[in-house]
Amino acid sequence: MQLSKFLPRSFDWVLLAAVALLVAIGGEAIYSVDLSHGAALLLFKKQALAAGLGFTGLFIISAMQHTLFRSYAKLIFVGATLLLTAVLFFGNTIRQTKGWFVFGGFSFQPVEAAKIALILMLAYIIAGFGRRFERPLFFVGTALVTLVPIGLVLLQPDLGSAVLLGLIWLGLMFLVKVRKLHLAILLGALGVVAVLSWSFLLAPYQKNRLLNFVDPARDRTGSGYNVRQAIIAVGSGQLFGRGLGFGSQSQLRFLPEAQTDFIFSVIAEELGFVGAVVVVLLYGVIFWRLLRIMQAANDDFSAAAAGGVIILFFSQFFVNVGAEIGLLPVTGVPLPFVSYGGSSLLMNLLLIGVMESMVVKKY
């Protein structure tokens, strides 16, 4: 542990402030949604507990030597893989996905830990190849490593999380500039996989989500209902919003899964265009500070890990918000630091702790 890490020259307080503000805004939105469920406020209390644990873990991890994460990257990846395997046999099914361990009134989703594990493992491999990324062994090897958690997540099935894991790998391949021939072969293979997935892998409700994205008017009162209500919520907020607890779409439960998949719509309805812009700007600050950490990194492992975190957070942000305003199909991807979900919030805060441990003040 290095307490000197918390000095301004070696700790990114701007990054922490942006993350904390997003957690606070998310807590406000969850509190508002929880009001419609009764006076117990169970969702808000669980999220507050996860936030407390997450920020505690963030500070502990940020004071560690970042070299520890490279040393234990393989062990962390193996542990996450075992959890993904175990949840298929001993996990609980929630919203048609067998991806949670439930302990009393609390649940844990192993795929959230797998995202961190995959980033660290790919960063470990990238650092070990000495920048010889044109070699087929690097491209194929990293792809096979990534397919392990993707395959286990698809068995749950959790298409949204599987896509995110794939995007982490794909983004890092672009970042390290692998050969264009390898990427072309990959795109061809993805086309074949897409066709086969439609025929044999995707569940009916997943197909409906894609069909509703192509044709929003196809089933407005059925499978397209969620997106329609989300768009209404975003538009009804106008400039300054309806106010905390006064959003008709969320309070009257017209908006399903308001605390998770459609949390941005709740914020836009209750805090208006101004509130939505503040959220987007805070994400911009996070991406900016993480990019600075990546650029200032002293080693390839830290740079690749920071790049992977940027790809993960941006993908989640883009996919979630894009789905809520009708630009992308709904995949159930949460909005980082904002959506309800203790596993997601806890793991994301721990990931920020890992990034803080890698801060090198050259900016």
Please say whether the beta carbons of 340 and 30 come within 8 A.
Answer: yes
Confidence label for 187 from pLDDT (cuts 50, 70 and 90): confident
The answer to whether residue 30 sits within a structural domain is: yes
The answer to whether residue 239 sits within a structural domain is: yes
What separation, in Å, do the N-terminal and C-terminal C-alpha atoms of the chain show?
24
**DSSP state for residue 249 in the 8-state scheme:** H
Quote the pLDDT of residue 347.
95
CA–CA separation, 310 and 14 (whole Å): 16
| 62 has a pLDDT exceeding 70 | yes
The answer to whether residue 143 sits within a structural domain is: yes
Phi–psi pair at 102, nearest 5 degrees = -115, 125
Quote the pLDDT of residue 158.
87
Residue 104: burial class (beta carbons within 10 Å; 0-12, 13-18, 19+): exposed
The answer to whether residue 255 sits within a structural domain is: yes
Q: Which residue has the tokens 């939105």?
A: 29
Structure tokens, 249: 């779409």
When pLDDT is averaged across residues 315-321 and rounded to a whole number, the result is 93
| 208 has a pLDDT exceeding 90 | no
Question: CA of 132: how far to CAs of 123, 128, 137, 144, 304, in Å?
Answer: 14, 9, 10, 18, 14
Q: Which domain holds residue 217?
A: 3-357
When pLDDT is averaged across residues 156-166 and rounded to a whole number, the result is 89
Chain-wide mean pLDDT for the chain?
A: 84
- pLDDT tens digits, 99-132: 889 887 788 999 999 999 999 999 999 998 877 8
The answer to whether residue 363 sits within a structural domain is: no
| 242 has a pLDDT exceeding 70 | yes
The answer to whether residue 362 sits within a structural domain is: no
Quote the pLDDT of residue 191.
74
Structure tokens, 113: 């830990």
Provide the domain count of the chain: 1
The answer to whether residue 333 sits within a structural domain is: yes
